[in-house]
Structure 1
Amino acid sequence: MKSLRRCAVLAVAAAVAAMIATPADAKTRTPSDDSVRYAWLKGCAKKDYRVPCGDWTLTMRSGKVRPLPGTAAVLPKGVSEFNVDTMLSPDGLIAVVEYFAEGGKPSSLVANLKTGKVVRLPRDQSVMSFSPDGQHLLTGRLTDDNTTEFVVFDADGQKTLSQVVPQIVSNNTPIALADDGTTIALIITGQSNKPRLHTYDLASDTVSDAVPLDIPKNEGAQTLYWGTAGAPTLWTGSGDGGTVFSVVKRTVDAGTGATRRLDSFKVRTDPWTLWLPGQ
């Protein structure tokens, strides 16, 4: 087994590559023929329990890992892989590495994988979503009044919009930011176990009516993001005992809730952990 520090670096690199659901050319932004389906880490038996072991592995069509530039690839001293999370913009050009250090406050680095530029976000901001073009980043923070504030930053780390949001927005996931930097899509399941889609305008602080989602009742929402064509893209998973065995990718009509299947595949049933695109 690799050391914690080595394992953490591998985890960051693998997770970043795994989130490139449909890699895009930097100029045309058209999907390539290659794509990562998921990243996983093997689990090995140790006495009566299982532990992570080996290297992160990518299940994809050809095989490719993008290294993070500069300090974004190095964990701060005293931070293990259990304190690190990563996120990649849908176009595969902007990566976020978020870690939790002393005091429990997140610290986030935003790295441009094309230029190598790295921007640090304020320590109280937790990263939630990218816009499809990678030009806007949605974060959230808990205020002193015990409310939740959403903040939008541009690619240079400058704040463009902020709003204290209602609980229906702050208490539900998954959530996704559109290219306009103000429209948010989110899914609510609730006790009925029937997923519904809402949109929320961050500038006007208004929530749309609920739209029932056309997905099978045995599938649960995993990740959500806005596609480049202006429609949300949803990943769902199904399985037994909380373990995802099969995954479906769909595009969603935000007005009607109708969905169209784009991809589906089965995942390994024996990993210690796995990451789907966008997670």
Structure 2
Amino acid sequence: MRKPAILALSAAATMALTTLAGAAQAQARTGAASATASSSASTVRYAWLKGCSKKDDYFPCGSWHLALGNGRDSVFKDAQVFPRTAKGKIDKGSFAPLSVSGDGRQVSYWRKKDGLLVVRDVTTNKVRVLPRAVSKLPKGLGMGDLATSLSRDGGLLTIDYYDSDDKIPSLIVNVRTGKVRTIPADSAVVGFSPDGKHVLVSRGTAENTSRFSVYDQDGRRTNTQVVPQVVANNSPMALADDGSSVAVLITTSSGGQRLRVYDLSADTVGDAVDVRVPKNESAKRLEWTSDGGLKLWETLDSVKTGETYRVVVHGLDTGTGATTKLDSFTVKSSLWTWCLPGE
């Protein structure tokens, strides 16, 4: 059973996994099968997979693609599209997870030729193969029964398993060293701090509240709190490098957007700040910047189809709500799925 996107973690202490045998396979360059992914040194704006229809059926099709910042579209043939189920069969009605680091340079995916989880630098074409024990799926789960996410620089990878009874711990994998740590099984990963040193996770409690916790890159819990509903019930959100400040975007009933910053250590919520963006834009992703501001990705969606057709990236002043347009790009139509860097 898939965990909700925002649940929060138990207060249980983190269990450390022993370093897996064969950790951090040596970097390797792969052959022509994926050379197209590095045809340009440009970073990724978004990754996408096309949707196709036949009669009354609708399904994912083709290869993964990377839409690059220079306007090019790169076919990512190395990545597995259709996941293997727990019984080893190919599921052509679903897709194997793929994620992009916040800086748009690293992509994690299941490699088609051998079924291993790998992380590729799309600007150099270098690949890091994760330990085989990480690629080995827990009993009863297939490739599609999990979610992955990369830290901003791609140095850490989280794997969140969707087991029905929430007994399989989520993993924090150091991509460079191969070391693996665990976080409690009933948690859901919300995201990384920009420096990759903290991971924000969430779980629902028995009292129908939400508990947020922060873990460091070694799997140690550094912060935890049952959070107010105004924080738990809104998104997107972002954790700062201090491991405590959580920015939350709130969409009001009138369609406006407000920003609030929650201090996880002090359990206090800052005043609401109106965000100055057009009302036809919807908040999709949020990230802290090195100067203490925020970077905000907004989407424009078709009234007729509901599909996203454009993304606008803003710089956001946390004190005034003023925004500065940083980037804007179109999103292809008829997609089965797509994701931004850092999602």
* TM-score bracket for the superposition, by shorter chain length: 0.7 to 0.9
* 1:148 counterpart = 2:199: no
CA-atom RMSD in angstroms: 1.9
* 1:242 counterpart = 2:306: yes
Segment drifting more, 190-199 vs 50-59: 50-59
Does the 8 Å CA contact 1:133/1:228 hold for their aligned counterparts? no
Specify every segment of 5 or more residues in structure 1 that has no aligned partner in the other structure, as ranges.
1-32
Segment drifting more, 109-118 vs 136-145: 109-118
Provide TM-score, normalisation by structure 1: 0.83
**CA deviation after TM superposition for structure 1 residue 90, in Å:** 1.8
Aligned twin of 1:24: none
- Match for 1:201 among 263, 268, 272? 263
**CA deviation after TM superposition for structure 1 residue 46, in Å:** 2.5
For residues 200-241 of structure 1, what are the alpha-carbon distances to aligned partners after superposition, in whole Å with 9 as ceiling and x for unaligned? 000111111111111111110001111233211110000213
Aligned twin of 2:164: 102
Q: 1:265 to 1:105 in 2, by over 3 A?
A: farther
Does the 8 Å CA contact 1:152/1:160 hold for their aligned counterparts? yes
More contact order relative to length (CA 8 Å, sep ≥ 6)? 2
**CA deviation after TM superposition for structure 1 residue 81, in Å:** 4.7
Q: Which amino acid aligns with 1:53?
A: C
Q: Distance in 2 between matches of 1:79 and 1:41?
A: 22
Q: Distance in 2 between matches of 1:221 and 1:100?
A: 26
Greater Rg, structure 1 or structure 2? 2
Does the 8 Å CA contact 1:72/1:97 hold for their aligned counterparts? no
1:116 is paired with a residue whose SS is coil
1:72 is paired with a residue whose SS is helix
Aligned twin of 1:13: none
Matches within 5 A, 1:217-256: 217-240=279-302, 241-256=305-320
Question: Number of aligned pairs?
Answer: 247
Q: 1:105 to 1:212 in 2, by over 3 A?
A: farther
For residues 115-142 of structure 1, what are the alpha-carbon distances to aligned partners after superposition, in whole Å with 9 as ceiling and x for unaligned? 2222221101111121110000110111
Segment drifting more, 93-102 vs 159-168: 93-102
- Match for 1:50 among 27, 47, 58? 58
Q: Distance in 2 between matches of 1:89 and 1:231?
A: 18
Aligned twin of 2:200: 138
1:102 is paired with a residue whose SS is coil
- Match for 2:138 among 76, 79, 82? 76
**CA deviation after TM superposition for structure 1 residue 43, in Å:** 1.2
- Match for 1:263 among 327, 330, 334? 327
Q: Distance in 2 between matches of 1:259 and 1:137?
A: 27
Does the 8 Å CA contact 1:185/1:200 hold for their aligned counterparts? yes
* 1:187 counterpart = 2:249: yes
Does the 8 Å CA contact 1:183/1:202 hold for their aligned counterparts? yes
- Match for 2:338 among 256, 274, 279? 274
**CA deviation after TM superposition for structure 1 residue 159, in Å:** 0.3
Specify every segment of 5 or more residues in structure 2 that has no aligned partner in the other structure, as ranges.
1-40, 75-105, 109-117, 120-129
Q: Distance in 2 between matches of 1:226 and 1:106?
A: 30
1:221 is paired with a residue whose SS is strand
Q: Distance in 1 between matches of 2:230 and 2:158?
A: 26
* 1:39 counterpart = 2:39: no
2:61 is paired with a residue whose SS is strand
